[in-house]
Structure 1
Amino acid sequence: MPSWLNNGLIFASYTLLIAAVSLALHRAGGVEVQAAVLIGAVMLLFAGQVHALVGRIQERATAEAELRGMRTLTAAMTRDMEQMRSRMEELEDALDTQTAARNEQISSEVRLVETLVKGLAESVEAGVRGGNQARRAGDRPDPLEPGQTRLPLDSDAAEPVTEGEMIETIRNSLEENRVDLYLQPIVTLPQRRTRFYEGLSRLRGPEGEIIMPGDYMRVAEPAGMMPVVDNLLLFRCVQVVRRLVARNRDIGVFCNISVHSLLDSEFFPQFVEFMEHNADLTGAMFFEFSQSAIDGLGPIERASLDALHALGFRFSMDHVRRLDMNLSELYDMGFRYVKVPANLLVGDMRGTGSLVRAEDLKALFERNGIDIVAERIEDERTAVAVLDMDIEFGQGFLFGEPRAVREDALSAPADPLADPVRELREVRVQ
């Protein structure tokens, strides 16, 4: 209702009421008409003043309530502004910290790459001085003569090459970034859900031909080039794990590391520094060593292993031939996984040195805090036999072949909606 209409009705009510009182005074009280009218007029004026006073009091109360509300709102807005300012300062500090950490990480990566390049140059120079400079043979001998090997071309017409030529091919592959990282799944049993990946390295020749480790290692190892190959593999593994961890995926990567890297006094300290800046990967990245390398650890290699362990990283053992291990010592060193070929687990274990029966092997390892990964599972029969031993992890072509990681996927911004593993891999099997 409009305020003027409301006031008019109230005034009319006052007038009628006072008129009735004045009339009653005249008739019942014997008051003269003029006096009764005067009394009514005074009462009407008084009622108007009282009404106006009450109205002002109500308006003042309303204004004070609104003022208090405004003050409360202003105080709340002030608190919000302070909180926003504090949050912005926290974000700026966090951004500065992240930027500094990222810059330091990039610096450590650059130093790592510089070390790899320097090591490559030194190893190639040493390999060339080793005398592997024989000329290409005119005819293809069968079998190969000493000092010769073949690029693993698809064509049977591939000509043999000398070790010097293979070293040059490896050097060019490294310099031109023709080193590919392949991922092979390690699955849980019996669910066959991917839990880990193993990182494997492949080199590509000048025509795109794949050079398998078995082909280049026999030349690269004597030439001192394997640490460079292994270190590049480690660098790629860190990039892959970082993308997986960014999505909080429950997937880890096993990355092979050469015992030569543990001995490299120039590379290894920088590698430890590099891993310090990636300490968030400790639960997702496991360094893998062969059984023969662990058996032959010297004091320098052991100290290097302890340095990685001190950062929180854990290890895996592969290329297992014997099962008579000191499991408690392995656990203290940081080993949490041991890869055992499936044919050793399901076959005749008499030559492995195992002191327990096959069906008790898993429980023995488990009591010492180490999980067995049955590797090289190629058929369902072997998978069933491994399941009968209650082994929890399996690896092999039955569960997935190694697939190449796309180079552009490592440098491209992560798509939060994409499958983190699928986007890293080639669609076709290599």
Structure 2
Amino acid sequence: MLKHIIIVASYGMLAVAVALVGSELVPALAPPVNWFAAGMVFLVGALAHESHVRVTQGATMAGQLHALRSENIGLRAQVTYLGGAMENLGANIGELNADGTDKSKQELDRVIAEVRVLQNLIEQLSAFRSMAGETPAPESSKAAGRDDSPAPAPGRAPAGENGAAYGLDEKEVLDIVREGLRKERVDLYLQPIVSLPQRKTRFYECFSRIRAENGTVIRPDQYIDLAKREGLMGAIDNMLLFRCVQLVRNAQSNNKNIGYFCNISANTLKDRKFFSDFVGFMAANQELARNLIFEFSQTDLDTHREEIGEYTARLGQLGFNFSLDRVEDLTKLNLEILAALGFRYIKIDARNFLDMPRDDDRPAMAEAAGEVALAPVGEADTVVGIDVALLKRTMDLHGIDLIVEKLEEEQNLIELLDYRIDYGQGYLFGEPRLSD
């Protein structure tokens, strides 16, 4: 408003100046002509001012219309996606009414469970979209989502991600994330986990990637901080977990002898409504239990032990197994408790065996229910102050397999084979690649 007042005052003062000094500048002009000229100056200024205001308002309205159109497209995509699921539900109801068989009822339960999870996810995304422009307090690093993918070996680019999107501003990245989630542009990347020493692929670890409309890939490290700040991380983690399971279900039909590791983040652990629906979804897809292993990080296990114990009990009753990854402190491992919770795999970074300084005075680990430390032995047999051979025997005793991850060099593997490592993972055996 102040800007427009200043503009009006400016051409008003110019008109008054023309009326007052016109005769002095052009003596032949009579006073009435001066006032007429002043009026024309004011009129021209007013018309120019009005034209500027109309152009500005038109541009603003066009921007608002574009934003509304984009929101409408997103809502229509969600309705279409949910509508397809509802059509499948209707078809299953028809089949159930027709024959009433157990198989038909199982399919019906499966679709109902999937629709519930979808409804929950759509509500989350819609709620966060309506909060656009607001900036919630960022979540703590322990509660926020993480980039599951391993870092590439020096000089290597992640396979299948050469089209990664770089040079984008924050708004562009968040727009791609939101659109990717709404329009199912979430891709599954798989990295092999091989048996040792045979190097035969036994499992894959699943990584989710969000793809832009033009095909470029948004890596988690590009959007995690932004998503935390916008309060989107919970919805993203939930959606990626659900999509990961959907994609594994499709991949399983091609190879039923391969297992898939899928991470459950701290954000998902805190969302009881979503996870309750998710457990129902897994109960309706119980045939995945022989191929799907859910992963928790050691930090999340320490922070959310009560919730994880509850969830592993529910999923364990369905036949699912679990893996502990991102192990940062080997001395905190309690193998008896982990085995009781259904953990059948532990992933340990190769650097914990090879790079960290050795300390024979450091206690090895807490074994079983008590605090029985594995006694350190000679430095030649000890890694990071831990008797690896005894650690491995204790894991075998509790039915837990050891996976050494982030193996990059052949020499590293040679150093580890003497410890009877069960499985290896890293760029030495294969990079994360887009699932077929």
TM range (shorter): 0.5 to 0.7
* Cα distance, 1:364 vs structure 2: 2.5
The count of residues paired between Structure 1 and Structure 2 equals 295
Distance 2:246 2:346 in 1: 24
Structure 1 residues 158 and 167: alpha-carbon distance in aligned structure 2, compared to 1, 3 A threshold: closer
The corresponding residue for 1:278 is 285
Name the aligned partner's letter for residue 390 of structure 2. Answer: D
**Residue 106 of structure 2 is aligned to residue 101 of structure 1:** yes
CA distance in 1, matches of 2:131, 2:312: 27
Aligned-pair CA distance for 1:275: 0.7
How far did 1:394 drift? 0.6
Q: Tell me the distance in 2 between the aligned counterparts of 1:280 and 1:131.
A: 40
**Structure 1: which 5+ residue stretches go unaligned?**
1-91, 133-151, 406-424, 426-430
Identity %: 38
Q: What does the per-residue CA deviation read over 1:195-218, in whole Å, with 9 as the maximum and x for residues that have no partner? A: 111110111234322111122222
Q: Choose 1 or 2 for highest CA Rg.
A: 1
Superposed, which structure 2 residues align to 1:115-126 within 5 Å? 115-126=120-131
Of 332, 338, 362 in structure 1, the residue corresponding to residue 346 of structure 2 is 338
Aligned to 2:118: 113
Q: Which residue of 2 aligns with 1:179?
A: 186
| Aligned partner of residue 102 in structure 2, secondary structure | helix
Matches within 5 A, 1:12-411: 96-126=101-131, 128-130=133-135, 159=167, 161-162=169-170, 164-243=171-250, 245-246=252-253, 249-297=256-304, 299-324=306-331, 325-348=333-356, 350=358, 354-355=364-365, 356-405=386-435
Give the letter aligned to residue 109 of structure 2: E
CA distance change for structure 1 residues 363 and 94 in 2, over 3 Å: closer, same or farther? farther
CA distance in 2, matches of 1:156, 1:268: 31
Contact 1:317 1:337 in 2 (8 A): yes
Aligned counterparts of 1:197 and 1:157: Cα–Cα separation in 2: 25
1-structure distance, mates of 2:222, 2:339: 34
- Going from structure 1 to structure 2, the CA distance change for 1:156 and 1:253 (only over 3 Å counts) comes to closer
**Contact 1:289/1:317 (CA < 8 Å) preserved in 2?**
yes
- Given that 1:373 and 1:392 are in contact with CA atoms closer than 8 Å, whether structure 2 keeps it comes out as yes
User: Contact 1:346 / 1:382 at 8 angstroms: preserved in 2?
Assistant: yes
Deviates more, 1:310-319 or 1:95-104: 95-104
Q: CA deviation at 1:244?
A: 5.3
Deviation at 1:158, TM superposition (A): 5.3
Helix, strand or coil at the partner of 1:374 = strand
- Mind listing any 5+ residue stretches in structure 2 that lack a counterpart? 1-96, 138-157, 366-385
Q: Aligned AA for 1:331? A: A
Deviation at 1:398, TM superposition (A): 1.3
Please tell me the residue identity of whatever aligns with 1:368.
H
Amino acid at match of 1:384: I
CA distances 1:176-230 after superposition (whole Å, capped 9, x unpaired): 2221111111110111111111110111234322111122222223433233333
Change (3 A) 1:172 1:93: closer
Query: Helix, strand or coil: the match of 2:276?
Result: helix
Residues 10-50 of structure 1 show CA distances to partners (whole Å, capped at 9, x for unaligned) of xxxxxxxxxxxxxxxxxxxxxxxxxxxxxxxxxxxxxxxxx
**Within 2, Cα distance between the matches of 1:218 and 1:298?**
25
d(CA) in 1 for partners of 2:163 and 2:398? Answer: 50
TM-score normalised per structure 2:
0.61
Task: Indicate if the aligned counterparts of 2:136 and 2:231 stay in contact, CA closer than 8 A.
Answer: no
What RMSD, in angstroms, separates the aligned Cα atoms of the two structures? 3.1
Q: CA deviation at 1:241?
A: 3.9
Q: Secondary structure at the match of 1:266?
A: helix
Q: 1:255 to 1:94 in 2, by over 3 A?
A: farther
Q: What is the identity, as a one-letter code, of the residue corresponding to 1:330?
A: L
Residues 333 and 154 of structure 1: CA distance in aligned 2, closer, same or farther (over 3 Å): closer
Is the contact between residue 315 and residue 334 of structure 1 (CA under 8 Å) also seen in structure 2?
Answer: yes
Q: Which AA in structure 2 matches 1:354? A: A
SS at match of 1:312: coil
Moved more, 368-377 or 218-227: 218-227
In structure 2, do the counterparts of structure 1 residues 125 and 368 end up closer, same or farther at CA, with 3 Å as the change threshold?
farther
Deviation, 1:170, is 1.3
CA distance in 2, matches of 1:194, 1:369: 20
Could you say what secondary structure the match of 1:294 adopts?
helix
For 1:333, the aligned partner's letter is: L
Match of residue 37 from structure 1: none
Distance 2:164 2:196 in 1: 40
Deviation per CA, 1:283-326: give whole Å up to 9, x if none. Answer: 21110111111110153454233322232211111111111111
Residue type of the alignment partner of 1:400: G
Question: In structure 2, how many angstroms separate the alpha carbons of the residues matched to 1:237 and 1:158?
Answer: 24
More contact order relative to length (CA 8 Å, sep ≥ 6): 2
Q: d(CA) in 1 for partners of 2:165 and 2:396?
A: 51
State whether residues 262 and 305 of structure 1, in contact with CA within 8 Å, keep that contact through their aligned partners in structure 2.
Answer: no
TM-score normalised according to structure 1 size: 0.62
Q: Counterpart of 1:191 in 2: which secondary structure? A: coil
Aligned equivalents of 1:156, 1:303: Cα separation in 2? 38
Does the aligned pair in 1 maintain the 2:395–2:401 contact within 8 Å?
A: yes
Distance 1:299 1:169, change over 3 A: same
2: CA distance between counterparts of 1:254 and 1:270? 20
Q: 1:367 to 1:187 in 2, by over 3 A?
A: same
Letter in 2 for 1:329: I
